[in-house]
Amino acid sequence: MRGNRNLWLGGCLTLIFAGAALISFLWVPYDTTVLDIANKIKGPSGAHPLGTDHFGRDILSMIMVGARTSIAVALVAVGIGMGLGVPLGLTAAAKKGSFLDELIMRGNDLVFAFPSLLIAIMITAVFGASALNAIIAIGIFNIPVFARLTRSGALSLWTRDYVMAARVAGKGAARISAEHILPNVTNLLIVQGTIQFSLGILAEAGLSYVGLGAQPPTASWGRMLADSQTMISFAPHMALFPGLAILLTVLGLNLMGDGLRDLFDPKLRRAR
Amino acid sequence: MSLLSIENLSLSIHGAPILRDVSMQIAPGRILGVIGESGSGKSMTAFATMQLLPEGSLCRGRIVLNGQEVLELSEAALCRMRGRDVGMVFQEPMTALNPIRSIGDQVAETILIHEKVSRSEAMERAAEALRRAELPQDRFPLSRYPFELSGGQRQRVVIAMAIALRPKLLIADEPTTALDVTTQAQILDLLKRLVAEDGMGLMLISHDLAVVADLADDIAIMRKGEVVESGPADTLFRTMQHPYSKALLAASAHAPDRDGAPQDVPLLQVQDVVRDYTVHMRGWWGKTTTFHAVKGVSFDIRKGESLGLVGESGCGKSTLTRAILGLEEVQGGSILLDGQPVFTGHHANRDIRRRMQVVFQDPYGSFNPRWKVGRLIAEPYHLLDHPPTGQQKAHAIAEALESVGLNAGDQHKYIHEFSGGQRQRIAIARALIIKPELIILDEAVSALDVSVRAQVLDLLADLGDRFGLTYLFISHDLSVVRNVTDRVLVMKAGEIVEQGATKAVFDDPQHDYTKQLIKAAPVLPAEVV
Amino acid sequence: MLRYFLKRLLSLALSLIVASWVIFLALEVVPGDPAAYMLGINAQEDTLAALRDQLGLNGSVVERYFAWAGGMLHGDFGISYTYRTPVAEMIGERLWISLPLALYALVLSTLIAFPAGIWAASKRGSAADLTVMGVTQLGVAIPNFWFAMLMVLVFAINLRWFSAGGFVGWDAGVPAALKSLTLPAVALALPQASILARVMRSSLLDTLSEDYIRTARAKGLSRGQALWRHALRNALIPVLTIIGLQFSFLLAGAIIIENVFFLPGLGRLVFQSISARDLIVVESVVMLLVFAVIVVNFAVDMAYAVVDPRLRRRR
């Protein structure tokens, strides 16, 4: 029951923000590239449900457009992490104990010593700030996360008799990884994927906030918060709504992850 | 005057009935054997006595232990009772001990919890309890950790914990199921001795009729949460009335009928096979030592023969199996099937491999849960150069399923829809589909309940006759090997110490180890079989 | 134990060396000519040459690496191009804000998370458990810098309990200094405490379902005794892993949070250096932070050995 409730609530929240991002391509209440100084720093009203910022831009529209940046960055970063991490993890598990396994795992440890913020700092110092930096920095950090998860999941599967049966049927390590191992770690990967997605959204907001991520005029929740900071004493709505957007999106993804885990994990399912 | 008296105990967990009207008695110094297959409720009866039940459990009836109404005791009173009045030993010694606390510490805890004594005195008494469990201090100091002990030794630590305060009742839940035969015999002897010394009552729970028959004074047979039959051990087997008890007894001693004598042509020839492992002490760059898993083993299997391979865990039988199947290259000797090598030029010989298949022990881990049965069964087709497709393939799958007593329609189901016994049938169907000559049965019936095991053994005998199959039957269970094989090999520490016709080896073992194994194996009373 | 220690020490040294290669490659080799990069496109040839000379850019890549790494070994991080002062001095001053901040947050996070996690696990399914799970679910989702802004709004601007930013300095006394780090530390700690409490809870629940807990109960231990004496230490092993990982998040978080509170720590320094294209400072700060993360992971490995006898005895 609880698993389903998490899944529903999380799924709805996620859909709302993903939907807002998609709708923003077709329609937004106000054009976010047009400044309207006459209406700057207005609280919520009928015309502007979430108020306006210091350039008179509509905050609801900014949040809708900003959702695109957040979701795109986090999604691509998860894609990078899975795309590289999963094959590495599968390889390491298939060649357990070999030099290759050791190399992959030590490489993972090394990347873990570089939090994505440090990677972003290095990239920005050399190439300048952009949303692409955020994607690369978060994506690189995701690689060892997925590689480790895949490896540990795969290792326990390699001891199963059905893998032995496949070997008796003459199948090689690559084919077994593809046919028997990967399908059985997919659930783990989906759950971790939603968690990394939500962490990616938090990380993107943090990087944009300190100016290492998306640059103006690209709308971004982190940038909106950075802009609002000096005005927080007289325009708290400018800080409140983008922050809530981040909070609710991340909450939605985390709830969805929990719900999926309950759904997939037969141990928990039986207990329910 | 009985020590433990369970009267009309009923138990439900979250409303689902688990036990119904269970009654049994244990007198001081007596051993009650509780027998049943999985799901019979035998362990739950033990946990109800300890009141260590899962959440949502509801007990009705009476449990009287040493004059106390257990079901009416408060949680605090129950804590005082557990460990002091009644001790418990569990099935899985590998996980029953806290991995990060020393054994002395864990045994002394039983004493410290119940009595106001100094730590040093508790440690002294812990040493005494361990000594009584045959873990003397000079070889097993209190500072040992569980990971430094073998399974049998860990079980002794658990026993020492349970008897440290000389409780009046000891409950042993499948105490030897996870152990090798010789270790099992030692642990059972130990329990018997402790019962005699302390005048303790013992509830011995087991799925193995022979284990209980050897030891118990009284026996209760359980099925689906009920006691179907009970009585004194020496008369019960003869006076048994309930059809289930009779069926259980028959299945335990079941010997399938086999026709067809083996031909005098060798199918598999194993010559001086050596398999060494390089063990990395610390990662791939660390120091290495060589572990000799198989040390020059030779034997033949004749066409149509059923050959048994017995040995305890770690004796090298799994390594040998992998070598025969061509999964690992050997360092010395040769393995020939019908005169052709299994391994040629560092590669497994596909032509040979398709003539052998294997059935594993674990009916739950043998199948990819995401595949349908049809695809699972057809997996060995990968060994063929031109595997059948379409209609032909569907037909072959249906045929394989039907030959093991399942329906052709089952190929569209997932594996979780089948019971343990059915899954083992599916595993056999998978082995049969490419029409192999040799089938290796790697503990293939060990995980099954006795009644299911008897059915699967019958099926194997029947298939062997129908398709002229040759079996290599690997098992730790001597009674099964005795009933289904023509010849037997006894393996110990990588070597074959004795081989010969099954009947001859069992009736007149030559090697000391074989004698020890046969002596240790629990047997049903002669008049029953 | 000694063997385990030496093995981890070796792996620590290897990680540091490889990490220094990565940082050196990224910040000194990838940009091509760092001098030209730092001065921009309008630089004069003679100023460029002077800077190259000052930065020691005239040798080969290998020579430059050894000069840089060797300098660091005895505390010489080079001279900042923009500030014209030794980088070691600049970092030294600012480290005394960032490092205490991260440690303060780590302590707070642990102090909050342990009791919360243990409490929730011991009362599984109760209202207390549901409350802890609900609150931590929110805590995990809150961006820490936004939470910091909200706290400034409430506790500094409205209630005036704390100052809205800035650091009084350690000269003002430890209590005053800690007070000015309190809001940032709380902002950093609460989201991390939420994660840690959830890990603590699930790890404890896992160990509570182990066979040896049943053995302990059969000896006569109550539920609570079994939890404290047997489950807790076993449950610590995954929790330690998370604490180790968290330290790197806290250091990174500290850099971001410094922006909210205008704290003159490493974060401000590194962002100013990025805009001033002062690669030397960026390189040193990144190396220092990576060093801190690797050393903390080493400490976590040592803590494993304290908790788990299997690591002490084997090998």
Residue ranges of E strands in B324-408: 332-337, 340-341, 343-344, 347-348, 356-359
Residues in chain C: 315
* Chain C residues with CB-CB distance to A126 below 8 A: 26-27, 30-31, 37, 279
The mean pLDDT value for C31-57 works out to: 76
pLDDT tens per residue, range C144-169: 999 999 999 999 888 888 887 778 88
CB contact under 8 A, A165 and B382: no
Neighbours of B438 (CB within 10 A): 24
Residue B283 has pLDDT above 70, yes or no: no
CB-based contacts of C196: which residues, under 8 Å, 6+ apart? C109, C110, C113, C114, C117, C239, C242, C243, C246
Chain B touching partners, 3 or more CB pairs below 8 A: A, C
Please say whether the beta carbons of A20 and A64 come within 8 A: yes
Residue C247 has pLDDT above 60, yes or no: yes
pLDDT of residue B400: 94
* Collapsed DSSP state (helix, strand, coil) of residue B278: strand
CB contact under 8 A, C150 and A243: yes
* Chain C residues with CB-CB distance to B50 below 8 A: 218
Rg (CA), chain C: 24
B283 in contact with A, Cβ within 8 Å = yes
**Which strand (E) or helix (H) includes residue A242?**
helix A236-264
pLDDT of residue B1: 63
Place of tokens 């066409």: B303
pLDDT of residue B498: 94
C31 in contact with A, Cβ within 8 Å = yes
The mean pLDDT value for B449-459 works out to: 91
Residue A132 has pLDDT above 70, yes or no: yes
**Band of residue B286 on the pLDDT scale cut at 50, 70, 90:** low
pLDDT of residue A43: 81
Please say whether the beta carbons of A217 and A31 come within 8 A: no
- Look at the pTM and tell me if it is higher than 0.80: yes
CB contact under 8 A, C214 and B52: yes
Q: What share of chain C is helix, strand, coil (3-state, %, to 5)?
A: 80, 0, 20
The mean pLDDT value for B86-98 works out to: 92
Q: Are strands B226-232 and B306-310 parallel, antiparallel or unpaired?
A: unpaired
pLDDT of residue C184: 93
pLDDT of residue B344: 79
pLDDT tens per residue, range B298-307: 999 999 999 9
| pLDDT higher at B481 or B279 | B481
* Collapsed DSSP state (helix, strand, coil) of residue B468: coil
Q: A158: exposed, middle or buried (C-beta count within 10 Å: 0-12, 13-18, 19+)?
A: middle
- Check if the interface score ipTM surpasses 0.85: yes
Neighbours of C23 (CB within 10 A): 20
Cα–Cα distances (Å) from A20 to A26, B401, C143, C187, in that order, read 10, 53, 20, 29
Q: Best interface-test mutation with B: which of C126, C211, C214, C219 has the largest number of B CBs within 10 A?
A: C219
What gap in Å lies between CA B168 and CA B82, rounded to an integer? 11
CB contact under 8 A, C222 and B76: yes
pLDDT of residue C313: 67
Residue ranges of E strands in B126-265: 169-173, 201-206, 218-223, 226-232
Please say whether the beta carbons of A173 and A95 come within 8 A: yes
Angle at B308 between CA B266 and CA B434, to 5 degrees: 60
What gap in Å lies between CA B353 and CA B436, rounded to an integer? 9
The mean pLDDT value for B507-526 works out to: 88
The mean pLDDT value for C294-302 works out to: 89
The mean pLDDT value for A33-42 works out to: 81
Instruction: Tell me phi and psi for residue A241, to 5 degrees.
Output: -70, -45
CB contact under 8 A, A122 and C18: no
C260 in contact with A, Cβ within 8 Å = yes
Mean pLDDT score of chain B: 90
Considering only CB atoms, A162 lies closest to which of B327, B365, B383, namely B365
CB contact under 8 A, A102 and B350: no
- Closest listed residue to residue B374, CA positions, set B360, B363, B359, B390: B390
Mean pLDDT score of chain A: 88
What gap in Å lies between CA B248 and CA B451, rounded to an integer? 6
Residue C42 has pLDDT above 80, yes or no: no
Our CA-based measurement puts residue B147 at a distance from the nearest CA of chain A, in whole angstroms, of 21
Q: For residue C128, what are its two tokens?
A: 């207390």
**Band of residue C84 on the pLDDT scale cut at 50, 70, 90:** confident
DSSP string, B48-72: HHHT-PPTTEEEEEEEEETTEEGGG
Instruction: Tell me phi and psi for residue B231, to 5 degrees.
Output: 165, 180
pLDDT of residue C157: 86
Cis omega (within 30 of 0) for bond into B232? no
Read off the amino acid at residue B13: I
Please say whether the beta carbons of B427 and A164 come within 8 A: no
**Band of residue C114 on the pLDDT scale cut at 50, 70, 90:** very high
Cis omega (within 30 of 0) for bond into C143? no
The strand pairing partners of A147, in sequence order, are: none
Handedness of CA A167, A169, A172, A174 (dihedral sign): negative
C138 in contact with A, Cβ within 8 Å = yes
What gap in Å lies between CA A22 and CA C312, rounded to an integer? 55
Considering only CB atoms, A225 lies closest to which of C146, C152, C267, namely C146
Place of tokens 């023509």: B486
pLDDT of residue B318: 87
**Which strand (E) or helix (H) includes residue C108?**
helix C87-122
**Band of residue B287 on the pLDDT scale cut at 50, 70, 90:** low
Residue B289 has pLDDT above 80, yes or no: no
Percent of chain A with pLDDT over 90: 53
Neighbours of B115 (CB within 10 A): 12
Q: Best interface-test mutation with C: which of A138, A232, A262 has the largest number of C CBs within 10 A?
A: A232
What gap in Å lies between CA B8 and CA B11, rounded to an integer? 10
Angle at A174 between CA A173 and CA A176, to 5 degrees: 65
Q: For residue C50, what are its two tokens?
A: 């002077």
Handedness of CA B75, B76, B77, B78 (dihedral sign): positive
Our CA-based measurement puts residue A260 at a distance from the nearest CA of chain B, in whole angstroms, of 17
Q: For residue A121, what are its two tokens?
A: 């700092």
Cα–Cα distances (Å) from B53 to B13, B56, C34, C204, C217, in that order, read 9, 8, 70, 19, 11
CB contact under 8 A, C279 and A198: no
pLDDT of residue C280: 86
* Chain B residues with CB-CB distance to C216 below 8 A: 98, 109
pLDDT of residue C54: 74
Residue B476 has pLDDT above 60, yes or no: yes
Residues in chain B: 529
Estimate to the nearest angstrom the gap between the alpha carbon of B177 and the chain centroid: 5
pLDDT of residue B527: 63
Q: For residue B296, what are its two tokens?
A: 């020059």
pLDDT tens per residue, range B167-212: 999 999 999 988 888 899 999 999 999 999 999 999 999 998 888 8
* Collapsed DSSP state (helix, strand, coil) of residue B508: coil
What gap in Å lies between CA C184 and CA C167, rounded to an integer? 11
What gap in Å lies between CA B128 and CA B133, rounded to an integer? 9
Please say whether the beta carbons of B222 and B39 come within 8 A: no
DSSP string, B111-137: HHHHS---HHHHHHHHHHHHHHTT--T
Residue C121 has pLDDT above 50, yes or no: yes
DSSP string, A129-165: --HHHHHHHHHHHHHHHHHHHHHHHHHHHHTSHHHHH
Place of tokens 């050399």: A126
Residue B281 has pLDDT above 60, yes or no: no
Handedness of CA B152, B155, B161, B163 (dihedral sign): negative
What gap in Å lies between CA B308 and CA A55, rounded to an integer? 86
pLDDT tens per residue, range C183-230: 999 999 999 999 999 999 999 999 998 999 999 999 999 999 999 999
Residue A2 has pLDDT above 70, yes or no: no
- In this structure, of A32-36, B50-54, B67-71, the range with the lowest mean pLDDT score is A32-36
The mean pLDDT value for C27-50 works out to: 77
What gap in Å lies between CA A67 and CA A249, rounded to an integer? 9
Residue C315 has pLDDT above 50, yes or no: no
Our CA-based measurement puts residue C294 at a distance from the nearest CA of chain B, in whole angstroms, of 20
Handedness of CA C138, C140, C142, C145 (dihedral sign): positive
pLDDT of residue A271: 36
CB pairs below 8 Å between A and B: how many? 57
pLDDT of residue B62: 94
Cα–Cα distances (Å) from B213 to B33, B239, B399, in that order, read 8, 14, 42
pLDDT tens per residue, range B359-413: 998 888 899 999 999 999 999 999 999 999 889 999 999 999 999 999 999 999 9
Please say whether the beta carbons of B407 and B323 come within 8 A: no
Estimate to the nearest angstrom the gap between the alpha carbon of C13 and the chain centroid: 19
pLDDT tens per residue, range A182-203: 999 998 899 899 999 999 999 9
